[in-house]
Amino acid sequence: MAASLSLSFIVGIIGNIISILVFASPIKTFWWVVKKKSTENYKGVPYITTLLSTSLWTFYGFINPDGLLVITVNGAGAIFQLTYVILFLVYAPKDKKVKTAKLVAVLDVGFLGAVIAVTLLAIHGNMRMTFVGILCAALTIGMYAAPLSVMRTVIKTKSVEYMPFLLSFFLFLNAGVWSAYAVLVKDIYIGVPNAIGFVLGSAQLILYVMYKNRSVAPKPDDAMEEGSAHLMKGSIEMHSLEENLHNRSLNKGKSLPKPDINRQYSFQKIIKTLSLSPHELQSSRSPHESVVEEGNPDQP
């Protein structure tokens, strides 16, 4: 029995360490959110549901006589998640900010307050642990299932850009350790949701391995730039074609046969002859021309 308690305590400590790493894993994500001053396509639902879950588990630890390790890990987790939710509300777009604020008010304020009030005022004895334990188990399943929307995005886009690896890995590891802890302490409310989380975490890791090296589809801006490049290339090619045709026309004109020199000379001679008087015409004849004319039978 002592060995069992000792082993469960060690596993619980390991679970605390891993859980804190899980809660700290989105720090890099929110560092970029703060730097870019935008949440881009990140979802706020996982942080909101995790805040509610860690808050309720902290309450469960307080009403459980052996809940010290549950209190420490979930108390720290609630602080982390509250910080993330606040940053998300600060940097989310206006429409998303309003929806997120409403969800926070309903779940993390209204629902949490109602559960605590009903548990302390209307329920007594061991039923308190049962009531809160069932709610905690359901919310933990919701926490592990929240990334399903991101998994759907990964499958649709074939990109793991918006599914942080560290978060998926530590959720998988965390669920496995707390499942082992639940078996040791025989706590069904801790065991069932973490076993489901272990399965879902495994699925996330499988998706990450499948799509981490896939090429991302071109963004609209890239498509426009590519289209512009094609249009520019087509314009250049058309311009080159027009220049080639023009040059060919010029070359064709240049390659036309030049008038025969004798013909040019004959034409000039005719014009000059018409402008001469009979006396000048007779005296301008060369002996060679006279011989040719006399030998021509067609001459009168």
Q: By the 8 A CB rule, do 132 and 115 touch? A: yes
The pLDDT tens digits for 21-80 are 878 878 888 999 999 898 887 888 888 988 998 999 999 999 998 889 999 999 999 999
CA distances from 65 to 10, 68, 192 (A): 18, 8, 20
Whether residue 294 is predicted with pLDDT greater than 60 in this model: the reply is no
Give 106's contacts (C-beta < 8 A, 6+ positions apart): none
Q: By the 8 A CB rule, do 49 and 105 touch? A: no
The two most distant CA atoms of the chain are separated, in Å, by 152
Give 229's contacts (C-beta < 8 A, 6+ positions apart): none
- What's the pLDDT band for 222 if we cut at 50, 70, 90? very low
* CA within 13 Å, CB half, 65: 3
